[in-house]
Amino acid sequence: MRYLPLSETDRGEMLARVGVKSVDDLFADIPKDKLLKAPVDLPRRKGELEVERILSRMSSKNISASSVPFFVGAGAYKHHVPATVDHLIQRSEFLTSYTPYQPEIAQGTLQYLFEFQTQVAALTGMEVANASMYDGSTGTGEAVLMAHRVTKRRKAVLSGGLHPHYIDVVQTLSKMASDEVAALKADVSGTEDILSQIDDSVSCVVVQSPDVFGNVRDLKPIAEKAHKHGALLIAVFTEVVSLGLLQSPGSQDADIVVGEGQSIGNALNFGGPYVGLFAAKSKYIRQMPGRLCGETVDADGNRGFVLTLSTREQHIRRDKATSNICTNSGLCCLAFTIHMTLLGETGLKRLARINHANAVKLADALSGVKGVEVLNKTFFNEFTVKLAKPAAEVVERLAEKGILAGVPVSRLLPKSGLDNLLLVASTEVNTDEDRAAFVAALKEVL
């Protein structure tokens, strides 16, 4: 087997050195009747070529985003990632290293985490950011738990504009932890009355902007009302590129900001791995979940970086820890931070403008199709359209025509009576030809 260096001779010599007759003597603690006598019922080993054949065959059954006009979003976005990013994250020293528990030989990881934290803090307009969560949805769950620790209250109010999967994640966690959740009903127009839900019993208000229907929300009045009642505002985003063009949640006085960072540096990957971004006001750092990287000096007085404030964490605090998270999204952070460094402020802002411009063009083009109504007054690179027919059916028909048109709201919110609504996203990857093809095909289908 190509991955196993020991030869039969090696094994024989080593068994002799250990002082046992056969390798099964080393498994003597497994109850005799439970030790498997034969290999399990799975195929035997395969060479590279054969493995490539099997997996390529599976891969080829999927339509990939780059191969068609592509407008699917709803929390994961197709962006162009520079070739440099994928090359660098595959360097052995990044790819095959561990969580930096031995900082003297992990400064590469630690320095990029420090740079990542600084970038995320700047983007979100917050004072501190951690070294990542699994993704935006689990990060939102952790943010709610953090707010409960800070406020010593146990009730979260969730906006009806929050991504339905995120709502489900928070509700699952809250139900299990016996915490209260007030989830507002789906708010297509972004005009819900969330302020009246906030009172002295509320720990946090969770609001997404742009929301899942694409509307850009004004967070300031929500922050103000929340703070008046001793509650925290948790601002969520699922499209981090929007922060290049929209005012930051920090500037609107959010207390915790959490979001999905996939758009920068990371592929769609059919849903994962992604990278959760998590930032907060610095007065709350001791209640934050996840790893934090901090600056210090070494024995020679040279600047260096270490994981810090670990007394919050499970390996020290066990059942009193702020979170159970251990492994996070190291390599996805690296992809994020490399792409963001390549963009820089100039590139990010331009990328955001292109995304917005393309979405505006698409919205205008779709508005001209009979049986299509664009519902949004505001949006960034994604918006909601109302179709004359059920959206799931339309999407399926368009897929047959080689166009991936968007996400039917019914896929996220079944039985909600929103069957004719479609979420449509447009990023820098879409061309005028893509838009024209979409419009032409839609005319045929509707």
Partner 1 sequence: MLNRQGRPTAAGDAGSNEHPTFTGNKALAQVEPLIFEIGRTDVTGVDLDEPASFTPRLGGQERKDAINLPGLSEPEAMRHYVRLSQMNYGIDTGLFPLGSCTMKHNARLNERMARLPGFSDAHPLQPVSTAQGALELMKELAHYLMTLTGTKAVSLSPKAGAHGELCGMMAIKAAIEAKGEGKTRNVVLVPESAHGTNPATAALIGFVVKPVPARDDGWVHVDDVKKLLGPDVAAIMLTNPNTCGLFEPQVVEIAKALHDAGAYFYCDGANFNAIVGKAKPGDLGIDAMHINLHKTFSTPHGGGGPGAGPVVLSERLSPFAPVPFVRESKSGLELVEHESDAAEKPFGRMTAFHGQMGMYVRALAYMLSHGADGMKQASEDAVLNANYIRAGLSDLLSLPFGDKPCMHEVLFDDAWLKDTGVTTLDFAKAMIDEGYHPMTMYFPLVVHGAMLIEPTESESKSSLDLFIATLRDLALAATSSSNDKSRFTGAPYHSPRRRLDETRAARAPVLKWTPPAPIADAAE
Q: Which two tokens stand for residue 353?
A: 């403008």
C-beta closer to partner 1: residue 199 or 345: 345
240: Cβ contacts below 8 Å, ≥ 6 apart? 123, 259, 260, 261, 262, 263, 264, 277
Task: Return the residue of 155, 161, 166, 257 that touches partner 1, per CB under 8 A.
Answer: 166
Q: Which two tokens stand for residue 29?
A: 């603690």
User: What is residue 423's three-state secondary structure?
Assistant: strand
Q: Which two tokens stand for residue 378?
A: 């505001």
Site for partner 1 contains 108 (CB under 8 A): yes
C-beta closer to partner 1: residue 226 or 391: 391
Nearest residue to 210 (alpha-carbon basis) of 384, 346, 47: 384
Q: Site for partner 1 (CB under 8 A): how many residues?
A: 210
Q: Least Å distance between CB 230 and partner 1? A: 24
Q: Least Å distance between CB 198 and partner 1? A: 21
C-beta closer to partner 1: residue 232 or 241: 241
Radius of gyration of the chain (CA): 25
Task: Return the residue of 202, 205, 293, 421 that touches partner 1, per CB under 8 A.
Answer: 293
124: Cβ contacts below 8 Å, ≥ 6 apart? 235, 243, 248, 249, 250, 254, 257, 259, 277, 279
Site for partner 1 contains 294 (CB under 8 A): yes
Q: Least Å distance between CB 316 and partner 1? A: 7
- Kindly indicate which of the ranges 196-204, 223-231, 338-346, 436-444 contains the residues binding partner 1, using the contact rule CB under 8 A: 338-346
Q: Where are the alpha helices (DSSP H) in 125-234?
A: 136-151, 164-176, 220-228
Q: Are 260 and 238 in contact (CB under 8 A)?
A: yes
- Kindly indicate which of the ranges 193-201, 226-234, 359-367, 430-438 contains the residues binding partner 1, using the contact rule CB under 8 A: 359-367
d(CA 348, CA 357): 14
Query: What b-and-e string marks burial along 356-371, b requiring 16 or more CB atoms within 10 Å of the CB?
Result: bebbeebbebbeebee
d(CA 163, CA 153): 24
57: Cβ contacts below 8 Å, ≥ 6 apart? none
Task: Return the residue of 156, 188, 325, 365 that touches partner 1, per CB under 8 A.
Answer: 325
- Kindly indicate which of the ranges 181-189, 194-202, 225-233, 247-255 contains the residues binding partner 1, using the contact rule CB under 8 A: 247-255
| Residue 252 backbone dihedrals phi, psi, to 5 degrees | -100, 15
Q: Are 297 and 103 in contact (CB under 8 A)?
A: no
Site for partner 1 contains 366 (CB under 8 A): no
Q: Least Å distance between CB 202 and partner 1? A: 20
Task: Return the residue of 173, 232, 236, 422 that touches partner 1, per CB under 8 A.
Answer: 173
Q: Which two tokens stand for residue 306?
A: 């270490």
C-beta closer to partner 1: residue 291 or 435: 291
- Kindly indicate which of the ranges 191-199, 229-237, 267-275, 438-446 contains the residues binding partner 1, using the contact rule CB under 8 A: 267-275
Nearest residue to 243 (alpha-carbon basis) of 125, 75, 358: 125
User: What is residue 288's three-state secondary structure?
Assistant: coil
Query: What b-and-e string marks burial along 377-401, b requiring 16 or more CB atoms within 10 Å of the CB?
Result: eebbbbbbbbbeeebbebbebbeeb
Q: Least Å distance between CB 383 and partner 1? A: 8
C-beta closer to partner 1: residue 177 or 199: 177
Site for partner 1 contains 152 (CB under 8 A): no
Site for partner 1 contains 106 (CB under 8 A): yes
Site for partner 1 in 378-417 (CB under 8 A): 378-380, 395-396, 399, 404, 407, 411-412, 414-415
Site for partner 1 in 28-67 (CB under 8 A): 28-31, 34-36, 39-48, 50-52, 54-67
Site for partner 1 contains 17 (CB under 8 A): yes
- Kindly indicate which of the ranges 194-202, 228-236, 375-383, 434-442 contains the residues binding partner 1, using the contact rule CB under 8 A: 375-383
C-beta closer to partner 1: residue 171 or 197: 171
The number of angstroms, rounded, from the C-alpha of 327 to the middle of its chain's C-alpha atoms is 15
| Residue 114 backbone dihedrals phi, psi, to 5 degrees | -65, -40
Site for partner 1 contains 1 (CB under 8 A): yes
Q: Least Å distance between CB 347 and partner 1? A: 4
C-beta closer to partner 1: residue 200 or 416: 416
Q: Least Å distance between CB 358 and partner 1? A: 8
Q: Are 73 and 239 in contact (CB under 8 A)?
A: yes
Site for partner 1 contains 191 (CB under 8 A): no
Site for partner 1 in 63-92 (CB under 8 A): 63-67, 70, 72, 74-76, 78, 82, 84, 86, 88-92
